[in-house]
Amino acid sequence: MIQVPEFSITRIEAYIKKGQYSKIIVLCDENTSRLCMEQLVKELPMPIERITLLPGEHSKNLENAAYIWDQLLELDADRKAVLINLGGGMITDIGGFCASSYKRGIAFINLPTTLLGMVDAAIGGKTSINIRHYKNQVGLFAFPEAVFIDPVFLGTLPKRELIAGYAEILKYGLIQETKVSQQEEDKYSDQKDLLWEYIKYEEPVNIPDWIPIIKTCVDLKEAVVAADPKEKGLRKILNYGHTIGHAIESFSLDIDEVPLLHGESIAVGMIAEAYLSYKKTGLSKEALNDISAVIIRIFGKYIFENPGYDDLIHYMHMDKKNQADEIRFVLLEKIGKALYDVPCTIKEIKESLDYYLTL
Ligand SMILES: NC(=O)c1ccc[n+]([C@@H]2O[C@H](COP(=O)([O-])OP(=O)(O)OC[C@H]3O[C@@H](n4cnc5c(N)ncnc54)[C@H](O)[C@@H]3O)[C@@H](O)[C@H]2O)c1
């Protein structure tokens, strides 16, 4: 069940007391152990045990899942224990997966410490691990018992990670106006009220108060997830930019010495998918130019070679959201309004990558 997040770490003490857990185990990576643990521990009413992973996407794998289950056993975690996932999406994804399968499910709490975790990965109930270089191939829908979002943790987050998280915020801006229910009226008659219209001018490193932006994103994700928790339809709009973006991410993990981050890959995907939207679903040329210019200004450009196209298409076929030979996309009718399940041909996809490379 979806839990409305609390917007301060100080609320966690009362929550833990109420839960009467037998044991608190904190899952972290080496960075969040060093930079975020102290802040958490001082709010907790009882001592903790900790399980620490190496940082980075490579850690979201089966070996580490087995290691976490093993450590939970070693620490005598029973069914009344709680796992607190202290970290970015890597930690909340693998931690949620392990907690919800250990002894058929123990409670877990997400405490996101990256911007991407706060607006996306820690909420919505998707948990997973990667297999080989394929993203999120094994996982469960499982909701945390609680989520505590506190921008205090962003203070130590490297600038590159902060900017990468901004990609998901831009994504919300691009899909925000999509109707959650058939009965719903158009919400934003005044275009100036749209999230996109103010976030597009911001420099992520200069934003003084994150709470209003994070809340807008969380509210939007929650409304969409509540309407379609298992991604049968509407929830797919949250994958805008992700079909090409995930392929770029896997591709980069495979070949680059310093691979692209998740958000950086999604940024590439959002431009290519805006091009597909221009070709197929009526997105205007001005909107395509606006989306491309904003994303390139914030993220710069990822240079990959044309021969890589076939690898990218292969990764798109591996994406669990695709059936047989068809590659289906979330595309935009206009900024703010998304459509899902729009099939595109390989030729069109290659053309969208060509467009990206000409920018
Ligand atoms: N479940 C979902 O719905 C969902 C949604 C989006 C993304 N994801 C997943 O999230 C993952 C990416 O998440 P991410 O970008 O948060 O990456 P991440 O968890 O790997 O964290 C990024 C880096 O920041 C460090 N870090 C985290 N918090 C810090 C802090 N406060 N100070 C200093 N360093 C800190 C980490 O150690 C790591 O090196 C991907 O695996 C992606 O598939 C899941």
Mean pLDDT computed over every residue of the chain: 93
321 pLDDT higher than 60: no
Q: What is the mean pLDDT of residues 194-199?
A: 89
What residues have CB less than 8 Å from 304, skipping those under 6 apart? Answer: 248, 251, 252, 357
Output the residue whose Cα is nearest ligand 1's atom 42.
89
Query: Model's pTM, two decimal places?
Result: 0.94
Q: Is 121 in the pocket of ligand 1 (CB under 6 A)?
A: yes
In the block, residue with structure tokens 């809340």: 215
CB 274 within 8 A of CB 292: yes
* pLDDT band, residue 183 (cuts 50/70/90): low
**Residue 218 confidence (pLDDT):** 96
pLDDT at 173: 96
Identify the pLDDT of residue 133.
74
CA of 85 to the centre of ligand 1 (A): 11
How confident is the model at residue 2, as a pLDDT?
65
Determine if ligand 1 sits within 6 Å of the CB of residue 262.
yes
Does position 184 have pLDDT exceeding 90, yes or no? no
Q: What integer pLDDT is reported at residue 112 of this predicted model?
A: 98
Catalytic residues: 104, 126, 168, 221, 231, 235, 239, 242, 246, 262
What does the pLDDT look like over 215-225, one tens digit per residue? 999 999 999 99
Asked if the model's pLDDT at residue 33 lies above 60, the reply is yes
**Per mean pLDDT, which range of 5-9, 21-25, 98-102, 298-302 is the poorest?**
5-9
CA of 70 to the centre of ligand 1 (A): 23
Q: Residue 324 has what pLDDT? A: 56
- Token pair 């995907």 is at which residue? 269
Average pLDDT over residues 94-101: 98
The 3-class secondary structure across the chain, one letter per residue, is: CCCCCECCHHHHHHHHHHHCCCCEEEEEEHHHHHHCHHHHHCCCCCCCEEEEECCCHHHCCHHHHHHHHHHHHHCCCCCCCEEEEEECHHHHHHHHHHHHHHHHCCEEEEEECCHHHHHHHCCCCEEEEEECCEEEEEEEECCCCEEECCHHHHHHCCHHHHHHHHHHHHHHHHHCCCCCCCCCCCCCCCHHHCHHHHHCCCCHHHCCCCHHHHHHHHHHHHHHHHHCCCCCCHHHHHHCCHHHHHHHHHHHHHHCCCCCCHHHHHHHHHHHHHHHHHHHCCCCHHHHHHHHHHHHHHHCCCCCCHHHHHHHHHHHHHCCCCCCCCEEEEEEEECCEEEEEEEECHHHHHHHHHHHHHC
* Residue 122, both tokens: 């820690």
* Residue 56 near ligand 1, beta carbon < 6 Å: yes
203-213 pLDDT tens trace: 999 999 999 99
166 lines ligand 1 (CB under 6 A): no
Which range among 39-53, 76-90, 178-192 shows the weakest confidence by mean pLDDT? 178-192
Mean pLDDT for the stretch of residues 14-30: 96
How many residues appear in the chain? Answer: 359
pLDDT of residue 242: 95
Q: Is the pLDDT of residue 320 over 60?
A: no
Q: Does any ligand 1 atom lie closer than 6 A to the CB of residue 35?
A: yes
- Ligand 1 centre to CA of 161 (Å) is 8
The response to whether residue 129 sits with its C-beta less than 6 Å from ligand 1 reads no
Mean pLDDT check: name the lowest of 192-196, 221-225, 233-237, 259-263.
Answer: 192-196
154 Cα nearest atom in ligand 1:
31
**pLDDT at residue 264 is higher than 70:** yes
Distance from the alpha carbon of residue 239 to the mean position of ligand 1, in angstroms: 17
Work out which ligand 1 atom sits closest to the CA atom of 31. 37
| Neighbouring C-beta atoms of residue 354, cutoff 10 Å | 13
- Summarised one tens digit per residue, pLDDT across range 122-159 is 999 999 999 987 888 999 999 999 999 999 999 999 99
Residue of 30, 31, 140 with the most ligand 1 atoms within 8 Å of its CB, for mutation: 31
Task: Find out whether the beta carbon of 139 lies less than 6 Å from any atom of ligand 1.
Answer: no
Among protein residues, the one whose CA lies closest to atom 9 of ligand 1: 89
Q: What is the arithmetic mean of pLDDT over 337-358?
A: 95
